[in-house]
Amino acid sequence: MSSALPPRSNQPKAESANSPVSSDAEKDSYTLDEMMKALRDGEREREPTSEVVTRSDGSVVHRVKRRKRRSGQPEKTKSERTIPEKKKKRFLLKLVVCVSLFLFVVLGALFTIVGYNSKAYRGKVEERASSWTGAEVELKGLKLMPGSITMSDASFQWPEQSFLQDLTIRNLSGHANLTSFLWARLGGRELSGKVGVLNFQLPTENGIVGQDLEEPDFPFDFHGYYCDALDISFGKESLFSVKGTDSSFRYLNGTGFRLSVDQGMLTLDGWDDLPIDNGVFKFSKDQVNMETLILNEPGAGRGGISSAIKLSGMVPLTVGEKMQMDLSTSGFPMEHLFGKHMGMLLSGPVGEASGTIDYTFGEASYDEVAIGFKAFQLQLHKFPFLINLDKMFSRELYTEVVFDNDIEGTFRANSRGVSIENLKLSQKDILSLKGNILISKSGRIGGQMRLSINNGLISSYPKVKSLPAFAGEDVKAYHTVVFELKGTLEEPDDTFRRVIGLVGSLETSEEGKLPSLDDTWKKMLESEKDE
């Protein structure tokens, strides 16, 4: 705003007698009244001026004169003035639409989440699971959120006609895809439980497994199902069971389902608990293919150097059908490979061993286990004849006889008990043993042994040579006697002393031949009944 005051001159002008009186513009100072008057005059200059105009009808009006627009500022048209208003309206409209869509999505998601966490939805999932498995299903504490799923407890109860009895998994959690809120099946990367129990049962007549194991009908669509510690048992009087195995369950395209186990412990009736290294099982409608099950020796640390048992075979899911599993191992301790009972009488690592396990599906026990073996070392325990050899030859060697040459035999386990058949042992050129060792389920011992002793050793001990069993001419390189094994696992016994004449004599079979195994079993079991 320009000032109404006249400008001051920078330098005063010289006054002369002829010069007129100085104008206001030339003043060096102004009074207060002069400055106020100048301000009022400036305001009046900015007010629009008017002129009196007489119209044709004789009326008089005041026409206001508008101020001229400054140069370079053209007057805006009406359309130009409305453009900013249109842009503002469009922006507000877009903002309202975006906010509305956002609120719609948020509210829709909230309603969807609430719906998928309702009792009604849980009931639908339970119904689908029940239809596919054939079991009564209960899912406790099911919570489904974008990216996660949790359950406190999942339980399945099958009818008496099924091989499956019940399954319980606790503390489940996992990843859930967003598609779980759009499609019929829950799905994601994985669903994992902390602990679980799976029980099998012997079904009633015409037992069933459930529906066809087709993945598209499966109520869940997770890539993998896991349990950190799963216990598995088979029947009330379980032939074997699994404790605390880390397991995973998943569908293989076109080939059914696969169960993988890792770690844990296998409990088998009559054997020490065997640590599980790993195992793979494939399930189809009518059978289970045990591709491999690796068992470590007891006491061996995971990852350490130890021997293992490998099992494989096909398990038919038909009551009464025969099945056979293959077994192989190398270096496994006999005391663990041959069960608790036989392990009390002998020990040592097998060199190579292979055999079969025969089983009738639906039965409470196996038909027979047969394992042929060879070894480089075997040690016998507890039998009195070992102590008798020590006394006869004054050698402590025989108190713990270690056979280290030409060792072989066949281990068997069946309904009668366990046995080592056609056992062959030798100790360098000193002595050898051939025979059978039988142990009933109650722990009674039976069997026979044919002992051959080098005549050169016998001749070195006059007292031994004078015994009835060793008297006479040295016709052969070895002198052979046959004696019986008897007693119990707590107190093993034999007839060696009677056979060699220390306490009488025992009549042996012709030419030192051993009686048949069937006859030996029959004799032992009959004597067991009489007691």
pLDDT in tens, 224-256: 899 999 998 876 666 778 999 999 988 777 667
Residue 400 lies in a domain: yes
455, with CB counted inside 10 A (0-12, 13-18, 19+), is: middle
Cα-based distances in Å from 487 to 382, 385, 446, 528 = 11, 13, 7, 11
- Of 60-64, 260-264, 281-285, which gets the smallest average pLDDT? 60-64
3-class SS of residue 151? strand
Residue 515 lies in a domain: yes
3-class SS of residue 325? strand
pLDDT at 113 over 80: no
Q: What is the pLDDT of residue 396?
A: 47
Residue 406 lies in a domain: yes
Q: How confident is the model at residue 81 (pLDDT cuts 50, 70, 90)?
A: low
Helices 119-133 and 78-116 meet at what angle, rounded to 10? 50
Q: How confident is the model at residue 119 (pLDDT cuts 50, 70, 90)?
A: confident
Structural domain of residue 508, as residue ranges? 377-531
Residue 352 lies in a domain: no
Average pLDDT, the chain: 78
Q: How confident is the model at residue 286 (pLDDT cuts 50, 70, 90)?
A: confident
Region 34-42: mean pLDDT is 68
Global pTM value? 0.72
Q: Domain count for the chain, please give it.
A: 1
* DSSP 3-state percent helix, strand, coil across the chain (nearest 5): 25, 40, 35
Region 383-406: mean pLDDT is 74
Residue 188 lies in a domain: no
Residue 231 lies in a domain: no
Q: What is the pLDDT of residue 23?
A: 46
pLDDT at 474 over 90: no
Region 285-312: mean pLDDT is 80
Q: How confident is the model at residue 389 (pLDDT cuts 50, 70, 90)?
A: confident
Q: What is the pLDDT of residue 118?
A: 63
Q: What is the pLDDT of residue 509?
A: 46
pLDDT at 170 over 90: yes
- In which residue are the tokens 């040295």 written? 474
- Of 96-100, 167-171, 453-457, which gets the smallest average pLDDT? 96-100
Cα-based distances in Å from 32 to 38, 239, 306 = 10, 122, 116
Q: What is the pLDDT of residue 13?
A: 46
Residue 450 lies in a domain: yes
Q: What is the pLDDT of residue 260?
A: 93
pLDDT at 374 over 90: yes
Dihedral over Cα of 27, 32, 33, 39: its sign:
positive
Residue 257 lies in a domain: no
Q: What is the pLDDT of residue 288?
A: 83
Which tokens belong to 85? 């208003």
Indicate left, alpha or beta for 290 from its phi (over 0: left) and psi (-120 to 50: alpha).
beta
Position with higher pLDDT, 423 vs 510: 423
Region 324-337: mean pLDDT is 94
